[in-house]
Structure 1
Amino acid sequence: MVSPAELPTAEVRDLPADVALLDVREHDEWAAGHAPAAVHIPLGELPARVNELAGFPENDPVYVICRSGGRSARAAMWLNASGWDAVNVAGGMGAWASEGRHMVSENGTDPEVL
């Protein structure tokens, strides 16, 4: 298993526009604001729903994001141990918003990071 010090990590500013992004935040956080093309699987549901990642580009890493980087680091470590190529997004959705990346909400309000 990859140690936390060895976990591949990327800064939001370095992500390509068409990044395969997995958001592991809770449902209320997702509804408040998320990256438009992200796939939502809360961290606690990831082991049971990992097959939903089969649609991600086969030769590209799965970039994992949460609010600040802690949950996504755990998810990326688990994914890497399970044979996926996963990269933690440093700073999470907070960094995403700070970088001015586009966000959408599911609750009819202006998107925000909870």
Structure 2
Amino acid sequence: MDVPTVTIDQIPEDARLLDVREDDEWAAGHAERAQHLPMTELAERYGELPPEEEVYVICRSGGRSARVTAWLNQNGFTATNVAGGMGEWQERGLPLVGEGDTPHVI
């Protein structure tokens, strides 16, 4: 699958970040500025995304986000996959928010 991909440090500061992980993963820890739209709900909820705005898609490691990126690009959106995902985000010590005392990536 050939999808546009960037590393975490290539994400523009003002970019729309779309987290496609499941609810429990999101609750454990996510980027504060991210929008949550689980991959399993994409077909029903993609209308929540602004079609005129580029979306940077992230998951835990990059597999689900690559599939979502491909689907979005095939359906009229401009999407870019984030390599390494939230696992890489956490390894770099970037800020996380979540429901527990210590937000983390699961």
TM-score between the two structures when normalised by the length of structure 1? 0.87
Whether the 8 Å contact between 1:35 and 1:102 is mirrored in structure 2 is yes
Aligned residue among 72, 80, 96 for 1:79: 72
| Paired residue type of 1:67 | R
Q: Deviations over 1:62-110 (max 9, x none)?
A: 00000000000000000000010000000000111122221100x2321
Q: CA deviation at 1:13?
A: 1.3
1:32 aligns with 2:10: no
**Aligned equivalents of 1:102 and 1:19: distance in 2?**
16
Give the aligned partner of residue 112 of structure 1.
Answer: 104
Secondary structure of 1:100's counterpart equals: coil
Q: Any stretches of 5+ residues in structure 2 without a counterpart? A: none
Give RMSD over aligned pairs. 1.3
TM-score between the two structures when normalised by the length of structure 2? 0.93
Q: Any stretches of 5+ residues in structure 1 without a counterpart? A: none
4+ residue segments displaced more than 4 Å: none
**Aligned equivalents of 1:49 and 1:69: distance in 2?**
21
1:15 aligns with 2:7: no
| Paired residue type of 2:100 | G
**Aligned equivalents of 2:30 and 2:58: distance in 1?**
10
Identity of aligned residues (%): 55
